[in-house]
Amino acid sequence: MPAPPCAVCHAARAALRRPRSGQALCGPCFCAAFEAEVLHTVLAGSLLPPGAVVAVGASGGKDSTVLAHVLRELAPRLGISLQLVAVDEGIGGYRDAALAAVRRQAARWELPLTVVAYADLFGGWTMDAVARSTAGSGRSRACCTFCGVLRRRALEEGARLVRATHIVTGHNADDMAETVLMNFLRGDTGRLARGGGLGSPGEGGALPRCRPLQLASQKEVVLYAHFRRLDYFSEECVYAPEAFRAHARDLLKSLEAARPSVVLDLVHSAEHLALAPTAQPPPPGACTRCGALASRSLCQACALLDGLDRGRPRLAIGKGRRGLDEGAPRARAQPPPAAVLPDF
Ligand code: SF4
């Protein structure tokens, strides 16, 4: 049976059906609709004001590649300029290839690229070193927890280096729904309180962050990359299979089979969630070691590195929650942990 005509231009044959609406579109009309929706997200949320210097967190993967491409298309209309900022976590056999993809993108799109490395920022620590240091301890499953804290900090440092006024990341709706689900499953009310909305306004001197793809489904991000013939790196990080996120992803897939709208429903829930005052995170202050934004005496990155340097990582999940050894619940009477989980 021949494909139906495109529902927008009626000239070409449809090449896809949009996963959510079922609308049959040709490739060019789909890409135009996708870009218009991202533009609407940015404008409706006042995410990137005219004149903004925007640091795009570039990993070489599909999400950040699509984000950078779409923002480059929209930049003249938004009146913004772009800088690619990539983070080298020091993951042998993975990050080098991903960074090569980022370098190709920067050259092809003629965008400035800055690479910041964990090893330079964090006293020689790389993710491989962190993994070695925690191997066999039961904490090795938490590599992404360490990495999330350090990467958030590294991206902030990279953005400041290029004098950016805003940071954007490529999280899509599926990523956000997984994060909401993980935070619920962990009972991490602090993260739930901060996780809603399209971004954070940059409290306590941190740069404002936003996620312009937050309402786009993962399937459509992949379709956009396909129709725009984008060059991206698609291999999974060697530490990803150990992450708790993988369980949330599996659960979400099961839920989606029963309720197709569950991804957007979860994102919507997080945006409109109201927490009791006692569940709100403490007001931010300054880290006593590096001066970065912190809700305790040390920021998340310094607390983590402090624990690593002493040979006992102290990162944990919210007050009274499980620590890095996810198989060993902590007693509720223990003192508050040094830091909380990152938002991914
Ligand atoms: Fe870091 Fe985990 Fe992502 Fe690998 S999968 S880059 S360890 S956050």
* Tens digit of each residue's pLDDT (9 = 90 or more) over 66-107: 999 999 999 999 999 999 999 999 999 888 999 999 999 999
Question: How many Cβ atoms from other residues are within 10 Å of residue 281's Cβ?
Answer: 16
Question: Which of 95, 96, 237, 238 has the most ligand 1 atoms within 8 A of CB, as the residue to mutate?
Answer: 237
275: left (phi over 0), alpha (psi -120 to 50) or beta: beta
**Is residue 114 within 8 Å of residue 86, measured between CB atoms?**
yes
Question: Which of 64, 88, 89, 150 has the most ligand 1 atoms within 8 A of CB, as the residue to mutate?
Answer: 89
Q: Dihedral of the CA atoms 251, 149, 283, 264 (nearest 10)?
A: -30
Q: Which residue has the least CA distance to atom 7 on ligand 1?
A: 144
Ligand 1 site, residue 144, Cβ cutoff 6 A: yes
Ligand 1 site, residue 237, Cβ cutoff 6 A: yes
Provide long-range contacts, Cβ within 8 A and 24+ apart, for 270-273.
Answer: 270/176, 270/180, 270/192, 270/195, 270/196, 271/196, 271/197, 272/196, 273/192, 273/193, 273/196
Nearest residue to 299 (alpha-carbon basis) of 150, 159, 180: 150
Residues in the chain: 344
Q: Give the SS3 label for residue 151.
A: helix
Give the pLDDT of residue 302. Answer: 85
Q: Which residue has the least CA distance to atom 5 on ligand 1?
A: 240
Structure tokens that stand for 265 in this block: 């429903």
Provide long-range contacts, Cβ within 8 A and 24+ apart, for 286-291.
Answer: 286/204
Give the pLDDT of residue 271. Answer: 80
**Is residue 66 within 8 Å of residue 240, measured between CB atoms?**
no
- Residue 152 φ then ψ, to 5°: -60, -45
Tell me the CA–centroid distance for residue 6 and ligand 1, in Å: 39
- d(C-alpha 122, C-alpha 237), whole Å: 21
Give the pLDDT of residue 330. Answer: 31
Provide long-range contacts, Cβ within 8 A and 24+ apart, for 130-133.
Answer: 130/308, 131/239, 133/308, 133/311, 133/313
pTM for this predicted structure = 0.83
Structure tokens that stand for 216 in this block: 């786009």
Which residues of the chain carry a pLDDT beneath 70? 136-141, 194-199, 201-204, 274-284, 311-344
**Is residue 43 within 8 Å of residue 52, measured between CB atoms?**
no
The pLDDT > 90 percentage for the chain reads: 54
Q: Which amino acid is at 342?
A: P
Q: Which residue has the least CA distance to atom 6 on ligand 1?
A: 237
Nearest residue to 143 (alpha-carbon basis) of 342, 291, 277: 342
Ligand 1 site, residue 127, Cβ cutoff 6 A: yes
**Is residue 53 within 8 Å of residue 59, measured between CB atoms?**
no
- Note the helical H segments in 45-172: 62-78, 95-109, 118-121, 127-134, 143-161
- d(C-alpha 8, C-alpha 177), whole Å: 30
- d(C-alpha 8, C-alpha 223), whole Å: 17
Give the pLDDT of residue 153. Answer: 92
Ligand 1 site, residue 308, Cβ cutoff 6 A: no
Pairing assessment for the beta strands 53-57 and 24-25 based on DSSP bridges? unpaired
Nearest residue to 232 (alpha-carbon basis) of 333, 108, 332: 108
Is residue 57 a known part of a binding site? yes
